[in-house]
Amino acid sequence: MKVFVFGLGYSAQHFASLFRDVYSCSGTVTSAEKATRLGASGIDASVFSPDACDDAIEAKIAAADALLVSIPPDEDGDPVLKRFSRQIASAPNVKHIVYLSTVGVYGDHQGAWIDESTHCHPVNERSIERLAAERAWTALGEAHGIVVHILRLSGIYGPGSNALVNLKRGVARRIIKPGQVFNRIHVEDIAGAIDASFSFDGPGAIWNVTDDLPAPAQDVVAYAAQLMGIDPPPEVDFETFPMSPMARSFYSECKRVSNKAMRDRLGVKLAYPTYREALNAMWAQGEGR
C-alpha cells in the first residue's frame, strides 16, 4: 500500500520506519533541510509549509492508496484541506485516510472515565480547532466514499522523548496538583493503531489511542528516577510553580480515557500497556544513560 503522509513528524516517522515492509511511505516536511535528511534515510519527502509547496505533491496524492494526516490545524482551518481538498477528493486510488487528532477535544471531565461516545466540549483553542478539523475530514470522506478514521491520541512519548531523558537533562519536574491524572501513549503503539486503522474491514470511526493507565505525571517521573537509581526531583506545587500558559493549560483538563474500543474492535494489542513497561524497555535500550 502506498501511503502519503502529510506531516512526517515524530509519530509518522515511527510508523513509516516500523512498517516499512508493509507500506511504502512518502510525505511532507516543512523545510528542504528536513526533506534531504529524510531522503538519506530512504523516505521520499516534499516540502509543504505556509511559505512553500512542492509541485510534486499533487502527483503523489494521485498515486497514493491511503493518506496519513498529522499536520495540526490553525485558526484558519486545516492547512491540508485548504490546499489539497480537491486533489484528495479526485484521487483515483485513495480509499483510506487516517487523521491524527487528540483526546484534548473531549475537554475537562473532572477525572471521570470517558470513551468515544462522550460529548466533546474542548476548552482551549487548539482543541477547538482540532475538533473542527476532525469534522471536516469526516465530511470529505462521506462526500467522496473514502473511509476516514480519526485517531484521538493521548500524550505522546517514546525514544528521545520521555521521563528518563528529561531526568538526564535535568528538566524533569514533579508538579503536584491533587487528583490530576494524564493519559499517555507510546509512539510504537500509535504506529500499531495506524496500521490497524488502514487494515480495518469496516466503516471509518473515531478511536481513542491511549494506554491502560491514566496516572499522575509525578508518578512517571518517580518511576523513571527509581530505574536510574537516583533521587527524584522535589515535589513542587502546581499553584505556585512558574509555568508557561500552554503548560498550565494541560492541567486545566482531567479525564481518564478508555481504550476499550481500540483494543476490542480495532484489534490493537499494546506493546506498552502502561508507562512502566515502556520505561523499563527504554531504560534497557540505553535511554537516559
Pair 167, 198: CB distance under 8 Å = no
Tens digits of residue pLDDT in 75-92: 999 999 999 999 999 999
Pair 174, 218: CB distance under 8 Å = yes
Could you give the C-alpha distances from 210 to 36, 152, 260, 263, in angstroms and in order? Answer: 33, 8, 10, 10
Tens digits of residue pLDDT in 94-120: 999 999 999 999 999 999 999 999 999
Tens digits of residue pLDDT in 188-217: 999 999 999 999 999 999 999 999 999 999
Question: Would the pLDDT of 175 be above 90?
Answer: yes
Tens digits of residue pLDDT in 226-256: 999 999 999 999 999 999 988 898 899 999 9
Tens digits of residue pLDDT in 31-69: 999 999 999 989 999 999 999 999 999 999 999 999 999
Cell numbers 482540532: residue: 130
The predicted pLDDT at position 246 comes to 87
How many residues are present in the chain? 289
The predicted pLDDT at position 210 comes to 98
CA 128 to the chain's CA centroid: 16
Coil, helix or strand for 75? coil
Ordered domains of the chain (ranges, CATH) = 2-158+184-212+258-272 (3.40.50.720)
